[in-house]
Amino acid sequence: AKPNAAHLALAVLEKDFDVTIITQNIDDLHERAGSTNVVHLHGVITRSQSGKNPKLTYPIAGWELKMGEVCELGSQLRAHVVWFGEDVPMIETAAQICAEADIFMLVGTSLAVYPAAGLIDFVADEVVKYLIDPKIPTISSVKNVVKVEEKATVGVAKVAAILLQNN
């Protein structure tokens, strides 16, 4: 897969804004689009990690992860992703980023997958929250919501244009 218009528009915003992307996706499309500050909540498939110490990570580009491949401490390597039922190690970092946000953009989500769906609750009430999705769920408890009922490739570009124009 290649980065799409949404990935590219977010990367362009870095020229004028301090952008942090928090993603549940395990691909590296944001980085390939040019984004430099990406928090991967569920890990990233292009890396492996120690089976005993998830802080020990290694690139896996160009080779296949196999049984018997071990880290420098001798434990089996596994994909650097969060499996169902595992804790999300970056959730506290993400919550802090949301709490400090001046602008918040939520893209392509039904707000059904927790704990990530709860991150919007950490954003201050006065902060404008752009929700971009063709089917935006009702969230009556959140203030200052701007709904952009579009696919990510269209909606992110629209919001980026507004932000750049108002900057």
Q: What is the mean pLDDT of the chain?
A: 92
Annotation marks residue 7 as catalytic: no
Q: How far is CA 81 from the centre of its chain?
A: 13
- Annotated active-site residue in 7, 30, 40, 42: 42
- pTM, two decimals, is 0.88
Task: Give residue-wise pLDDT tens across range 25-60.
Answer: 999 999 999 999 999 999 998 899 999 998 899 888
- Is the CA virtual torsion 35, 41, 42, 47 positive or negative? positive
Spatial contact of 94 and 39, defined as CB atoms under 8 Å apart: yes
Within the chain, residue ranges assigned H as helices are 5-13, 29-33, 91-99, 152-166
β-strands 128-132, 145-148: how paired? parallel
Task: Give residue-wise pLDDT tens across range 124-141.
Answer: 999 999 999 999 888 878
Give 46's contacts (C-beta < 8 A, 6+ positions apart): 27, 28, 59, 60, 61
Q: What is the pLDDT of residue 149?
A: 95
Q: Could you tell me how many residues make up the chain?
A: 167
